[in-house]
Structure 1
Amino acid sequence: MHPNILVINSGSSSIKYQLLAMPEGRVLVKGLLERIGSGDARLKHWDNTASDPAHEKISQVNAADHQAAFDLVFKALGAAIEFGAIAHRVVHGGSRFASATCVTDDVIKAISELSAFAPLHNPINLNGITICHRMFPGIPQVAVFDTAYHQTLPPRAYRYAIPELWYQTFGIRRYGFHGTSHHYVAQKAAEFLEKPFAETSVISLHLGNGASAAAIAKGQSVDTSMGFTPLEGLMMGARSGDIDPAIPTYLQNYHQMEASGIDWQLNHASGLTALTGTNDVRELINRSQQGEESAALALDMYGYRIKKYIGAYWAVMGGIDALIFTGGVGENAALVRRLVCGGLAHLGIAIDDTANNIQDADVCDIAQTGQKTRILVIRTHEELQIAQETWALLN
């Protein structure tokens, strides 16, 4: 097959894409078409094969729906661009998929059935697969699931203490998300530490608008903060994270709120957004430094809840080789890293402030010299991980 792999991440109003030359993983082309269906769509396209590869071209486009958006994406890629496979990010694979999977009719049916678990994501992901299959019927399509890496969780971590019917019949258990990112950065940590992946134990913090922690022991995910849905776990940009499960029924029974409305509020109007009116951590840091109490409280809560997960995972793992920060916030917000690591010296986790404020590599160690646990800031590259899994599957 042709060594280039096109990675597609189809969202509700956007399409992210990268073309990678395999097996080295060099990015040839990447882009983002956003605001699909808004009448004000925008395409950002970066071509490393062009004469001016550093220049990102931005253009206003008309993308009324996803089919029109994909037409524009493939037009931007150009007829000369070749690829041997199209790999798709799919959010929820349930307990059925533990690795990259060639798309067949049965796989399409399974992704559709799992849409009940991820109604905001799986249908859109599947729509992208369907459109690409129609446009390129002879090109292999591969699905890589956000939940797959966490299929190594033991029952004590993935089971909830709920009626057996809920688990056996309804499939209610912890699935975990951000698996592609956690897998990628854990492997990069092992390389940096010069240890075999199967002997490396880390706590990985993927901090962005969505956020999750993962306990990775000897290369395998053994626990993670997100659960049946991406709502559980850490406090996030617009998601509440952990709350008392009786709160929704209280709101329904005593304040006449509808279940759908409560669900929307918890997923789209909670977290940092609820406390401050914004999910932009950069803005919150600025506001906090200017003395705004609500911003300072939000950041304090954000760091505190991450710290609790670190303590829990450190305890069950009996120590770790490294603590990893990744994702947009994890990679770029030095203040958040300092808040999270403050007071953890008794666990061998202590930041070097100078290193924390200066990073210029894909992997940076910001731990104080002499500490047993390394603190690594690693730039995640989910598209590369997806391409690598696809390459391994098809070869």
Structure 2
Amino acid sequence: MNILVINSGSSSIKYQLIQMPEEIVAASGMVERIGLDGALISYKSGDFKLTQEVDIPDHETGLLKITALLLNEEFGVIGDKDSIHVVGHRVVHGGKTFSETVEVTPEVKEKIKSLVPLAPLHNPHNLKGIEVAEKVFSHAKQVAVFDTAFFQTMPQKAYQYAIPTKFLEDYDIRAYGFHGTSHKYVSEKSIEYLKSEKAAYSRIITVHLGNGCSISAVKDGKAVDHSLGFGPANGLIMGTRAGDIDQSVIFYLIDKLGYSADEVKDILLKESGMLGLTGFSDMRDIEAKSAEGDETCRLALYMNGYRIKKYIGAYIAAMNGLDAIVFTAGIGENSSVIRKIVCEDMEFLGLHLDHRKNDVRGNTLRDISVPGSSVKILVAPTNEELEIAKQSYVLVN
């Protein structure tokens, strides 16, 4: 079965064509800068790679360009559009309605639309991807996989805010969690790996570190707490997002310094985090500057790691122990520096980092803890597209 996985953003479409149940990636790529000058489309199938600068005014044009590449007589991987049996869509916010993957219906689309106020930067573009795919692949089943679904298992003591209860009951204001597809995938892979060594690994902390960052407590395979809440802004320090901040700072910026609410939102979401601390949002630049002796960048790295360590401590308490910490996503998988900062001075937990293993890059799940450590340190490559394909395949079968 050919499943086309689409992750539709405000100006991009990330895609993979995956053959299921074999889990073979037949083709993959990305459309970037939709509606802007210098739009790009990339395509990879086996050893063949292609990147083109083309005019892509909207998402429909982008998806048609992707289809043309998949159908190309020379390097394409399908014979016609009907060879796409299922289109799996990443949808960021499912609210409290969607606790599992669903086939798209008019009612589902209306509910996704109603949740736009909860994820204004994501849900409109996710919905646009669905609507465009319905037109382009009219014979395929459309499936929605929700980032928030994995966190529907969080208990109320974890997801409810200490504000008047009417805001939860009347307006669904609560913690929902994000990056759920990634956390689900790596926690399942990690538990599967650990069970081969010990029968009852059940308390996992998954650390998703990219431009957006989040950390989850996963007990017995189910999420019990998570750092991101009502929106994808709090918790860990991110590329341009501040993460946790005293609400008094927001009031002070508005009431005393004269910033508008919109200006404060832009400051906290687009101008803060590692960018606000260092002038760089890319961790590679910050690590390079730190290595050259830049104390500002060095401090930012340790602030980043310190925030992660605090959440690890909280989640160990919440789960009454810990069996493994799992690093994933672009920074989590590739930054030996951040992993070292997070894991140092944690020996009291039975957590011992093997520095030689930590410095070795790899693209498979690996254990970087010292042999015999009671708490394992794992690096697990995430694969959100494969997780979406797997969930879509299970649903339609």
Coarse TM-score class (shorter-chain normalised): over 0.9
Would the alpha carbon gap of residues 250 and 347 (structure 1) be closer, same or farther in structure 2, given more than 3 Å must change?
A: same
**Counterpart position of 1:124:** 125
Tell me if structure 2 keeps the 8 A contact 1:197–1:219. Answer: no
Task: Give the TM-score taking structure 2 as reference length.
Answer: 0.95
Residue identity opposite 1:57 in structure 2: L
Structure 2: distance between partners of 1:197 and 1:239? 39
**Counterpart position of 2:79:** 80
Tell me if structure 1 keeps the 8 A contact 2:194–2:201. Answer: no
Would the alpha carbon gap of residues 198 and 36 (structure 1) be closer, same or farther in structure 2, given more than 3 Å must change?
A: farther
**Counterpart position of 1:319:** 321
SS at match of 2:115: helix
SS at match of 1:149: helix
**Counterpart position of 1:50:** none
After TM superposition, list the pairs within 5 Å mapping 1:44-193 onto structure 2.
44-47=42-45, 53-78=46-71, 80=79, 82-193=83-194
Tell me if structure 2 keeps the 8 A contact 1:204–1:216. Answer: yes
Structure 1: distance between partners of 2:244 and 2:200? 31
Q: Which moved more, 1:218-227 or 1:72-81?
A: 72-81
Task: Give structure 2 stretches of 5+ with no counterpart.
Answer: 72-77
Quote the offset at 1:199 in angstroms. 5.6
**Counterpart position of 1:251:** 253
Residue identity opposite 1:64 in structure 2: P
Residue identity opposite 2:7 in structure 1: N
Residue identity opposite 2:343 in structure 1: C
Q: Which moved more, 1:361-370 or 1:189-198?
A: 189-198
**Counterpart position of 1:210:** 212
Tell me if structure 1 keeps the 8 A contact 2:201–2:323. Answer: no
Quote the offset at 1:194 in angstroms. 2.4
SS at match of 1:242: coil
Residue identity opposite 2:102 in structure 1: T
Quote the offset at 1:144 in angstroms. 0.4
Q: Given the alignment, which residue of 21, 29, 33 partners 2:19? A: 21
Quote the offset at 1:198 in angstroms. 8.8
Would the alpha carbon gap of residues 246 and 197 (structure 1) be closer, same or farther in structure 2, given more than 3 Å must change?
A: farther
Tell me if structure 2 keeps the 8 A contact 1:112–1:123. Answer: yes
Tell me if structure 2 keeps the 8 A contact 1:201–1:322. Answer: yes
Quote the offset at 1:197 in angstroms. 10
Structure 1: distance between partners of 2:17 and 2:136? 17
Alignment RMSD (CA, Å): 1.3
Quote the offset at 1:360 in angstroms. 2.8
**Counterpart position of 2:351:** 349
**Counterpart position of 2:75:** none
Structure 2: distance between partners of 1:110 and 1:119? 14
Structure 1: distance between partners of 2:20 and 2:285? 38
SS at match of 2:40: strand
Q: Given the alignment, which residue of 312, 329, 340 partners 1:310? A: 312
After TM superposition, list the pairs within 5 Å mapping 1:216-295 onto structure 2.
216-295=218-297
Q: Given the alignment, which residue of 31, 34, 37 partners 2:35? A: 37
User: Structure 1 residue runs of 4+, over 4 Å off?
Assistant: 195-199
Q: Given the alignment, which residue of 381, 386, 389 partners 2:388? A: 386
SS at match of 2:256: helix
SS at match of 1:74: helix
Tell me if structure 1 keeps the 8 A contact 2:85–2:139. Answer: no
Would the alpha carbon gap of residues 296 and 199 (structure 1) be closer, same or farther in structure 2, given more than 3 Å must change?
A: closer
Task: Give structure 1 stretches of 5+ with no counterpart.
Answer: 48-52
Identity in percent: 44
Residue identity opposite 1:156 in structure 2: K
Structure 1: distance between partners of 2:392 and 2:285? 38
SS at match of 1:20: strand
SS at match of 1:306: helix
Would the alpha carbon gap of residues 197 and 54 (structure 1) be closer, same or farther in structure 2, given more than 3 Å must change?
A: farther
Deviations 1:126-156 (A, max 9, x none): 0010011122222110000110000000001
Deviations 1:245-294 (A, max 9, x none): 12222211112211111111111111000011111111111100111011
Structure 1: distance between partners of 2:10 and 2:153? 29
Structure 2: distance between partners of 1:86 and 1:55? 23
Q: How many residues align?
A: 388
Would the alpha carbon gap of residues 256 and 227 (structure 1) be closer, same or farther in structure 2, given more than 3 Å must change?
A: same
Residue identity opposite 2:140 in structure 1: I
Structure 1: distance between partners of 2:319 and 2:162? 22
Structure 2: distance between partners of 1:273 and 1:387? 34
